[in-house]
Amino acid sequence: MLGDKTRLAIVKSVFEQECCVCEFVAIFDMSQPAVSQHLRKLKDHGIVKERRSGQWIYYSMNTDYPYYAFVQQLVNHLPSQREGMSNLQQDSCCEN
């Protein structure tokens, strides 16, 4: 599941902060359906959870995930995604 580069980056991101779908589309420069499909898989595995707010859907880490601590250790070895996140502010769709 986390062998996929994009999904691993998504998980790293949601570990740092709740993210909107549109932010992933912008950051990873991927099509919206491609992003949605990765999010779906992560959600189905119980790794992330979603929260709807109006038109937007935000994803965050599911702290109840059985391997939460393990994933945390894992992503601690990856470079932060914050920079990329904060760089797009205006560009992306949601208010974040």
Partner DNA sequence: TCATTTTATAAGTATATGCTTATATATGCA
Partner DNA sequence: TGCATATATAAGCATATACTTATAAAATGA
Contacts of 8 (CB under 8 A, 6+ apart): 2, 75, 78
Considering the rule CB under 7 A, would residue 3 count as an interface residue with DNA? yes
Stretch binding DNA (CB under 7 A), from 37-45, 65-73, 74-82, 83-91: 37-45
Stretch binding its own copies (CB under 8 A), from 1-9, 19-27, 36-44, 53-61: 1-9
Enter the DSSP assignment of 79: P
- Using CA atoms, how far residue 3 sits from 45, 74, 87, 88, in Å, is 14, 12, 26, 26
- Taking the complex as a whole, how short is the minimal distance between the CB of residue 77 and its own copies, in angstroms? 5
Q: Identify the residue among 11, 14, 25, 47 touching DNA (CB under 7 A).
A: 25
Considering the rule CB under 8 A, would residue 70 count as an interface residue with its own copies? yes
- List the one residue out of 78, 91, 84 whose CA is nearest residue 27: 84
- Taking the complex as a whole, how short is the minimal distance between the CB of residue 89 and DNA, in angstroms? 14
Cβ atoms of 93 and 20 within 8 Å: the answer is yes
Residues near its own copies, by CB under 8 A = 2-4, 67, 70, 73-74, 77
